[in-house]
Amino acid sequence: MRPIIQVRDLGKRYHLRKARNTNPTLREAVVGALRWPIERLGGRNGSEKNSLWALRHVSFDVLPGEVVGIIGPNGAGKSTLLKILSRITKPSEGEVDIYGRVGSLLEIGTGFHPDLTGRENIYLNAVILGMKHAETKRKFDEIVAFSEVEQFLDMPVKFYSSGMYLRLAFAVAAHLEPEILILDEVLAVGDATFQKKCLSKMNEVRSQGRTVFFVSHNMLAIKQMCNRVFIVNGGRLSATPDPATAIATYAASGANAEKGRTGINQFGSGLNNMAASA
Amino acid sequence: MISENPRVSAANLTSKAPPLSEKFHSSLILPEDPLIKIRPTRSWSFIDLRDVWAHRELFYFLVWRDLKVRYKQTLLGALWVILQPGLMTLIFMVFLGLLVRVPTPGVPYPLFLYAALLPWTFFSNAVASSSYSLVASAHMITRVYFPRVMVPAAMVAVRLSDFLIAFVIVVGLIIYYGVHPTWSLLVLPVLVAHLTLLAVAVGLWLAALNVRYRDVGTVIPVLLQLWMFVSPIIYPSSMVPARWRGLYFLNPLAGIIENFRACLLGLPFNRDGLIISACITLALLFYSAHAFRRMEDEFADVI
């Protein structure tokens, strides 16, 4: 069986100088531009000092239909991995080959415009998520029914309650049908009823044989959904024989980290700070 | 890079069998070549036009969203599109036409002004709004993949639609002042396309720069103001001393605006100015597409 996703020696390096100062002023830019050729001549060692590998030497294959869970502490590189797979950011090294269409949900409701109505936002959001307009039209009634906001469909979403907003956003996302689905903590929002709905939708997706990438801190969801689990820590990825072992291993490492922060976890939290300041 | 491949179809098995059952594997036929290849940034690459084409629906929707939102929030709606160049015409007419008395070659000054302020308004609005567009879409850029070039390009398209509405007024003015239309009117669409390409070239480059250096956003109004005065908008290019004229027409906007007005009002055509402008526009377009491509990969990281 051929894999649907092949990841080979993937790495992503962030430049700390850039990360600390996301929006350099023109003066800094001019100084930087003058200094740049000198730094370039200095070779890679110079830049290595100011950079941080958020992810490195990551290789794995995913078979079609697998549901892969990714767990790890905050700032371990999970989101970076998902962002590379979703093509939001480029890797610094390595390669990825994907044999199918990818739909990524790093959050729900991306591109929602507060002044547009629920109806208009369904069309807009769907096309942003990569759905064809004809497909959205076909599924429109289904999406509306799923969202349970029929009466408010022609009202600008800025007047929606957060629950309505969330349901509408999730309804669109739930009708995305790519071969590969990438999910980042989408289930972490909403109340119990909402989460239940999400989980049942996930089950449906899985039963259709689609490949799912799923980042979560919810170990129960991971255990229920995934047939493979990767632990990401300090930018390294480790595969585990089965989900139960992975969760046990992760829980154990988490307990250790609680007692005294290990080097790896400090590395992780450094990344986390960087992400927060960016 | 991305393409709809009919051979890829997810299996529609309804059986619920956690954990993974083997039958899923056999039911999905994978394409021979990967649909998506993710590689580190190469130093020389061009905007992937096939990818842009695959996302054309997103482009329509970005334009649609902008028009829709604008008309929801404003009282006068589409009227602003006409009022903006109209009011500017009025201001310059009073100060330059009546007080300074700028000499114009055989056409009334208001008409002379509007015929140039119309394309200028399109150009400056297109450049300004596309320059700010990427930063304004930061949220989308860090969450979803799409060819980034869509965002500034959609802004130019929005402004182009404004321009077409405002164009109706110029027709009214021509009839009012009794200007006889000439065959050169047929060149207008070419000039509009030329102007659009120039706006795209400048807009793409500034938009990408603005992602990294927010100073660009501050400089743009000043830059546009300056650009307006070095283009033959409120005065004819014949007022520029002859020895400076070669330099003057290196401004790609000069050739376009002057010829736009010439075509509309039946004034003499400046062929050399247009050829120079076309060459510079093409060079700018290639440079800015390349620069955009190079900066594009790190948008999500630095925005």
Rounded Cα gap, residues A67 and A208, in angstroms: 11
* The pLDDT of residue A267 is above 80: no
Q: What is the mean pLDDT of chain B?
A: 85
In a domain, residue A66? The reply is yes
Residue B144 and residue A4: Cβ atoms within 8 Å?
A: no
Q: Could you give the CA distance from residue B68 to residue B70 in angstroms, rounded to a whole number?
A: 5
SS3 A99: coil
- Residue A233 falls within a domain, yes or no? yes
Kindly report the nearest CA distance between residue B303 and chain A, in angstroms: 7
What pLDDT is attached to residue A127? 94
* Nearest-neighbour CA in chain B from A5: distance (Å): 9
Whether residues B2 and A101 touch (CB distance < 8 A) is answered with yes
Contact A209 B27 (CB under 8 A): yes
A63 contact residues in B (CB cutoff 8 A): 25
In which residue are the tokens 């050169």 written?
A: B184
Q: Is A129 helix (H, G, I), strand (E, B) or coil?
A: coil
- Asked whether residue A44 carries a pLDDT value surpassing 50, the answer given is no
User: Residue A28: inside a domain, yes or no?
Assistant: no
Q: Does B41 touch chain A (CB under 8 A)?
A: yes
Q: How many CA atoms lie within 13 A of B198 on its CB side?
A: 26
Q: Do A203 and B16 touch (CB under 8 A)?
A: yes
Give which of A217, A218, A216, A204 is closest to A176, Cα–Cα: A204
**Subunit contact B145:A63, Cβ cutoff 8 A:** no
Any idea how long chain B is? 303
Return phi, psi of residue B11, to 5°: -70, 140
pLDDT value at position A205? 83
A87 to chain B: nearest residue by CA? Answer: B145
Which residues does chain B have within 8 Å of residue A66's beta carbon, measured at their own beta carbons?
20
**Domain, as residue range, for A76:** 1-14+52-100+218-278
State how far the Cα of A128 lies from the Cα of A118, in Å rounded to an integer: 15
CB-CB neighbors (< 8 A) of B37 in chain A = 95-98
Chain A neighbors of B143, CB-CB under 8 A: 88, 106-107, 110
Q: B67: closest CA among B161, B139, B142?
A: B161
Q: Is residue A194 part of a domain?
A: no
Supply φ then ψ for residue B106, to 5 degrees.
70, 10
Least confident of A71-75, A135-139, A147-151, A187-191: A187-191
Residue A265 Cα, gap to closest chain B Cα (Å) = 22
For B3-68, give the DSSP string.
---TT----------SS--THHHHH-PPPSS-SEEE-PPPSS----HHHHHHTHHHHHHHHHHHHH
Most confident of A122-126, B5-9, B168-172: A122-126
Taking alpha carbons only, the member of A168, A159, A68 closest to residue A111 is: A168
Residue A107: band (very low, low, confident or very high) from pLDDT cuts 50, 70, 90: confident
B194-247: per-residue pLDDT in tens?
Answer: 999 999 999 999 999 999 888 899 999 999 999 999 999 999 988 899 899 889
CB B48, CB B3: distance < 8 Å: no
Residue A262 belongs to what H/E stretch?
none
Q: Kindly report the pTM of this predicted structure.
A: 0.83
CATH number for the domain harbouring residue A256:
3.40.50.300
Helix or strand or coil: residue A70? strand
pLDDT at B8 over 50: no
A203 lies in some domain: no
Contact assessment for residue A271 and residue A54, using Cβ atoms and an 8 Å cutoff: yes
pLDDT at A256: 56
Interface of B with A in 213-232 (CB under 8 A): 213-215, 219
Distance from CA of B296 to the nearest CA of A (A): 9
Q: Does residue A175 lie in a domain region?
A: no
Question: Which residues in A lie closer than 8 A to residue B302 (C-beta atoms)?
Answer: 18, 22
User: How far from B168 is each of B50, B74, B86, B182, CA to CA, in Å?
Assistant: 35, 21, 12, 17
Local structure of B297: helix, strand or coil: coil
Residue B26: closest CA among chain A residues belongs to which residue? A1
| Helix (H/G/I), strand (E/B), else coil: B234 | coil
Tens digit of each residue's pLDDT (9 = 90 or more) over A25-37: 667 667 766 666 5
Complex-level ipTM beyond the 0.90 threshold: no
Q: How many helices (H) and strands (E) does chain B have?
A: 13, 1
Shortest distance, CA A107 to any CA of chain B (angstroms): 7
Dist CA B96 CA B57 (whole Å): 45
- B165 versus B256: the higher-pLDDT residue is B256
pLDDT at B65 over 50: yes
Q: Do A227 and B40 touch (CB under 8 A)?
A: no
A61 in any annotated domain: yes
Residue A37, in any domain of the structure: no
| Cα A15 to Cα B191: distance, rounded to the nearest angstrom | 44
Estimate the crossing angle of helix B109-136 against helix B215-229, to 10 degrees: 170
Q: Which residues of B touch A106 (CB under 8 A)?
A: 143-144
User: What is the residue-wise DSSP string for A10-69?
Assistant: EEEEEEHHHHH-SS--HHHHHHHHHHHHHHHHT-HHHHHHTEEEEEEEEEEEE-TT-EEE
pLDDT digit string (tens) for B138-196? 999 999 999 999 999 999 999 999 999 888 888 888 888 888 888 888 899 999 999 99
In angstroms, the separation between the Cα of residue A255 and the nearest Cα of chain B is: 28
State the smallest CA–CA distance between residue B281 and chain A in angstroms.
26
The number of folded domains in chain A is 1
CA distance B197 to B266: 24
B174 Cβ contact list (under 8 Å, min separation 6)? B111, B181, B264, B265
A14 contacts in B (CB within 8 Å)?
301
Identity of the residue in B26, B37, B57 whose CB atom sits nearest the CB atom of A132: B57
Buried b or exposed e, range A76-104, using 16+ CB within 10 angstroms: bbbbbbbbbbbbbbbbbbbbbbbbbbbbb
- Cα–Cα nearest to B238, from B212, B262, B263, B266: B262
pLDDT of residue A277 exceeding 50, the answer is no
Band the pLDDT of A225: cuts 50, 70, 90.
confident
Asked if B30 is an interface residue toward chain A (Cβ–Cβ < 8 A), one would say yes
Phi, psi angles (nearest 5°) of residue B231: -115, 150
